Amino acid sequence: MIEINLMTVGNLKSSFLEPGIEEFKKRLNRYCDLNIIELKDELVPKNPSQKDIAALQALEGERIVKSLPERTYVFALDVKGKPMTSTGFAKSLNNLQVRGYSSFTFIIGGATGLSDFVLQQADYRFSLSHMTFTHQMIRLLLLEQIYRAFKINNNEPYHL
């Protein structure tokens, strides 16, 4: 079975997102083993400098890299990453599976984003949108897109 790891910096703090996340966790259960890995986030000071942000990213980045599962294909969500359509994303996952990958890890940074070091460790950097969303909302959006990819790759209709 395919393993999907959703690695996030920080805990889910928006209770209104929980029902949607739980729904997609249930839906994904028939397609993959889903692991949500929450890592400690750093407290962002008021009016942080670039140096402050870089230091926070470095601390969070160390936790991320240490927590990456072995032999996993790493996707980093990055506003500067390559945008993908839903069908393009599904095709990419399918092609990677054909090449022998069975474990995929998706990294969602915290409030300050991901460090350059983490981005360099990723196999692929992509953006879900040109718009900016909270790192908390991205969890739900990404789970929905992963679910949609499995539906597309299994030639199943997708209706909410």
As annotated, the binding site for S-adenosyl-L-methionine includes: 77, 109, 128-133
Output the known binding site.
Answer: 77, 109, 128-133
Would you call 32 helix, strand, or coil by DSSP? Answer: strand
Contact in structure between 117 and 58 (CB atoms under 8 Å) = yes
Q: Could you give phi then psi for residue 54, rounded to 5 degrees?
A: -60, -40
Q: Return d(Cα 103, Cα 111) in angstroms, integer.
A: 26
Would you call 160 helix, strand, or coil by DSSP? Answer: coil
Contacts of 146 (CB under 8 A, 6+ apart): 4, 24, 28, 32, 106
